[in-house]
Each structure stands twice: as structure tokens, then as C-alpha cells.
Structure 1
């Protein structure tokens, strides 16, 4: 066990992980570059710029939600440290598997005296809140639109009730405790409270709203008629597409899966080419936002190390 800890704490392993994660992130950009430039040529620059700003805002609110969870668990860190931990760890999303950002957050958190089990719990709960709130928003969208799915309405409503129940502290804390028991590790010293979990969920919902507005703005730029109902559809469609992409762990950052889900929702509002253009520009904007936070986090970490 001690040998394993030494390996995990090795600077060489950290740099290797960072190189793989950056390679995955850059692969997303390079692979889609030709199609991206073609799509951007047909899009007003104001919408392109707004798309990137909204992507940065989405990542910021996601980080804020995670910061609230970590504080509720006992580590109330400042924004400087939050950007270091969250920004650098998030590029782990671009490695297939769906857990590498959690592993990275735990390893970086050690440098700031944050127990690994607390870091793991905070990032896991943050991801779980995103999944549950995103699924909830998506379920509401399915119920309020004419999208055809082969699932009974009563089952969808039941799923929504289950999602709400899972976001209650008594239920969530038991799930966390059960998870650590299965791993034969001690549970975190503190449990999530209604206040902390409620604020974290609210921030996650705001993040989904921002991401959905980005999708709506891009869809309008590629030919969809602007409307309030279209904006609501965009928010729910993106949330559900992100959840589906996350659950398919064999591809980095949900590549391909989100396109399919969004295509289902926008089939009557956009051409297939328009849907692909919306997804592509949104994905690259989100990727650049992740890269920006990673670079800022790495810079802050380097500056802190020199003091």
C-alpha cells in the first residue's frame, strides 16, 4: 500500500497524466478544426464570442457548485486554490473512463492539505448533482415537449421523483457512506447538509441554464426561430445530452453521444447539418473554456510554488 501511494504521488506520474489529458483535449479541437472553421464562417462573430463567454460562465458555476460541496464537507478553500484544483483536474474528463477528473482532484488536493477521501467525495457529489439535476431538467423537458420516446409517462414521472429523493441529504449521505464501506475506507468526517446541498444544486441548475442558453443562441444563429419555448427546449436538451454523454464512459467527453441526443430534440427546428454545427461549436467553446481554467489553475499553482 505504501509503495502504491508513492507511485500515485510521483511527479512523473502526474506529468504523464497531464500529458494524456491534454492530448485528449487537443484531440477534440484538432479533429474538428476543419468543420469548426466552416461552421464559424456562417455564424455572426457576436454569437461566436457570446458562445465562448457562456461556456466560461458554465464552467465557473460548475466550479462554484463543487466549491460549496467541499466547504460543506469541511474544506472551505479560497478561489485561488479552487481554480487550481478544479481547473487542472477537469481536463481529466478528456481521458476515457469518466473518473480521471476525480482522481486528479484527490491528488492535487493533497498539496493543499485536503484529505483524499474528502476530495473524492466532493468531486463525486458534484458530478452526481450535475447528473441528477441534468437528468431532472431533461425529464421535465421530455414531459413538456412532443419528442417521441418509447417510455411511459408514469415511468418518467417516477424517475423524476427518484432523482429528487436522491438529492436529499439523508439519502445522499447514506449512499456516500455505503460507497466508502464497499471500498473498505473510512467515510468522510462530515456529511452534506441541506444548506450546502441545496446551494450546490441551485448553482448546478444555473450552470445548466447557461449552457442551454448557449445552445439556443447557436441554434438561432444556424437557422432556428428565436422563442422562449426554444430556449427552454435547448436547456433541457443540452442537460439530457450531457448526462447521456457522461454515462457512455468509453468515449472522451461524450463525443458523438451528445450529438445524437440533441439531434432528436432539434430535428424539427434545424437541419441535420445545423444540429451538427451547433454541437460542434458548443463542444469546442466548452473545450476552450476547460483549457482556459486548466491554464489559469496551472499558472496559479506555479506562482504559489515559487513563494
Structure 2
């Protein structure tokens, strides 16, 4: 298995991550060195412009979250006080279950591209790597997963392809689950703050759904992956992607949305009791997670996911201040779940390394 080129560092010694889509990788899967193509490099003004856009977007998102919370603070604080610790604990457990299902979807797809992974090997790669989503941009989670995947015997390119495909399948499954509630979403957009942005976000779900369904067709998906492998300067797939990994990964994504819906319902059941609230929770989380994936400048869709979830909850009958407060609680619990799941996976991985290490040589 290719170890790849030496990781570059800057003068301060900090590792500079490679762009997973860069065609300048000089190592083929077989280990043979190939000549990199001539490139002109990114122009300094373009790099500065991209950085400026990211900074402005981060400032705008932060301002939106703070301003909305302050504006509704009396109702928001009342909603916080009405939440019980048992509900928060159960909601946190449901968030962990959602992350676990996402890891299983990733494991099923990557296993079909390279070789099957044991759960104890797949969990650290996906769960620890997922922490990279809290950094602005699209590549950080993939970079970490690619490096961790290489350590368990999966090539960087196939880790990246598997992660990207599962992200696409997850978005498509979310759009499918959102489709029956398009009318509710538009009602929420009309009743929510910032109606123009809300309506635009809901229209995105309507427009993207058919494209997502078409791209899940295995022959077309195989062709798209083959094109991506060419961009990565990697050999073509050993075998085409079949219906089995697509359906298995999609099923695990659906399980993840069900768990995420239960997570939301445990927070909003005072407003949406019974099965109606559970179905509404799945709808709210499917809308929020699927569309916020495209807001690449926001760490883990921060701000966008909360706004979209609030739109869905408002459409279901939850007042806007309460809906906004509950989305903030949901974000906090999911962040705790991400860190906890990654920490447990890292601890288990470290324990395995220690137990598998050879005994010290006696002097």
C-alpha cells in the first residue's frame, strides 16, 4: 500500500494538509513515482480573495446566530429552563446513535471500494476524521480520514471517494425524507424570520432531489467515481459499484436520520407530542442536514443547519423563539456527541496499539 509523498511542513513545523482533489500527487497506487504535471499555481490575489470570503462568511454567520439569540433571549432562556436533564441525556444518546449509523454507512461503501473493514478499524477513521468538519472548508474531514484510513490499509483515494459518495447518498436520503413535507417547509419559510432566504433554502430541496436520485444509479455513480479517480491520478476502480453497497449505505443513512429525528423529538415533545412529533423531528433534521451540507464555508453547517431546522419546526407549529432555542441545544448536544464518539474511538485505538505492541527487548 502506498504511503504517499512526504507530508510538507511550514517553517513553524505545522503539517500542511494535501488537497485530496489535487492532481499533483506524485505517487501512484502501485508505488511507482510519476512525473507531476506542470502547474502555474494559485495566484496570490485569488488565495487572498478566497480567504477574505471565508472570513466574511464566518463573521456573518456568527453575527446571525448572536443577533437572533439576543433578539429572542427572553423566550430562548425560558425554553432552556424548561428542558429536563433526562430529555437532554436521551437526546444525546440518540445523537450518538446517529453518528454510529453514519459510520456504518461509510464502512459499507469503503468496504465495497477496497476491502471490508472491521467495525473497530472503521470507527476511528470515520468518527475521529469527522471532527475536521468543524473547520471551515470542505477538505479537512476528508484529509484526516484519508490519513487514518491509510493506517488501516485503505488507500487515501478510496477513503476520499467512499466519504464523498456516502455524503452524497446521505444528502439524497435526507431529501427523500424531506419530500413529503415540502408543503410544511414552505409554511415554515413564510412564518420564519428572513423569509427570502428560508424560501430559497426550501426550493433547493425541491431542485436537488431529482439530481440526487439520478446520481445514486450505480452505473452512473461508477462513472462519476471513475472520473474522480482520474482527477486524483489513481487507477480505475477494481469493480463497478453495485446496488448492494448503495442500498446498504443508504439504509444506514436512513437509520441515522431516524436517530437524529428522535434526538429532535426528545427536545421538542412538549410542543410536538406523540408520533407526529417524531415524524416532524425526522423531517426537520433531514431538511437541516441535507441542505446545510452545501454551505461549505460554515464549520459543520453552523448557522445554516440551525436556521433550516427552525424553519421546519416553525412549519410544524413550534413558535420561532422556541424553535431557535431548541436548535441551539441540538447543536450543543451533537458537538458533545461528536467529541465523545471520537474520544472513545481514539481510546480504543490507542489501547489496541498498546496491546499489539511487541514486548520490550531485555538488555
1:292 maps to 340
Secondary structure of the equivalent of 1:128?
Answer: helix
Post-superposition offset of 1:16: 9.6
| Separation of aligned partners in 1, 2:253 and 2:9 | 31
2:37 maps to none
Q: TM-score, normalised by structure 2?
A: 0.70
Match among 131, 136, 139 for residue 179 of structure 2:
139
**Against the structure 1 CA distance between its residues 184 and 51, is the aligned structure 2 distance closer, same or farther, given a 3 Å change threshold?**
same
1:229 maps to 276
| Aligned pairs for 1:234-245 within 5 A | 234-245=281-292
2:7 maps to 7
Runs of 4+ in 1 over 4 A off after TM superposition: 12-17, 35-40, 143-146, 148-151, 153-159
Q: Is the 8 A contact 1:59 1:290 kept in 2?
A: yes
Match among 283, 289, 294 for residue 247 of structure 1:
294
Quick one: higher RCO (CA 8 Å, sep 6+), 1 or 2? 1
Match among 110, 116, 139 for residue 156 of structure 2:
116
- Give CA deviations for 1:123-178 in whole Å, capped at 9, x if unaligned: 11111111121122223321576635868x99977753332221121111111112
Q: Which structure shows the bigger proportion of residues in helix conformation?
A: 1
Q: Is the 8 A contact 2:261 2:282 kept in 1?
A: yes
Secondary structure of the equivalent of 1:247?
Answer: coil
- Give CA deviations for 1:49-91 in whole Å, capped at 9, x if unaligned: 1100100100000001111111111321112111221121010
Q: TM-score, normalised by structure 1?
A: 0.82
Post-superposition offset of 1:189: 2.7
How many residues are matched? 288
Query: Are positions 1:211 and 2:260 aligned together?
Result: yes
What 5-or-longer segments of structure 2 have no aligned partner? 19-61, 67-72, 191-197, 358-363
Match among 175, 184, 207 for residue 224 of structure 2:
175
| Bigger radius of gyration among the two | 2
RMSD: 3.4
| Separation of aligned partners in 1, 2:123 and 2:87 | 27
**Against the structure 1 CA distance between its residues 106 and 155, is the aligned structure 2 distance closer, same or farther, given a 3 Å change threshold?**
closer
**Against the structure 1 CA distance between its residues 110 and 303, is the aligned structure 2 distance closer, same or farther, given a 3 Å change threshold?**
same
**Against the structure 1 CA distance between its residues 150 and 298, is the aligned structure 2 distance closer, same or farther, given a 3 Å change threshold?**
closer
1:302 maps to 350
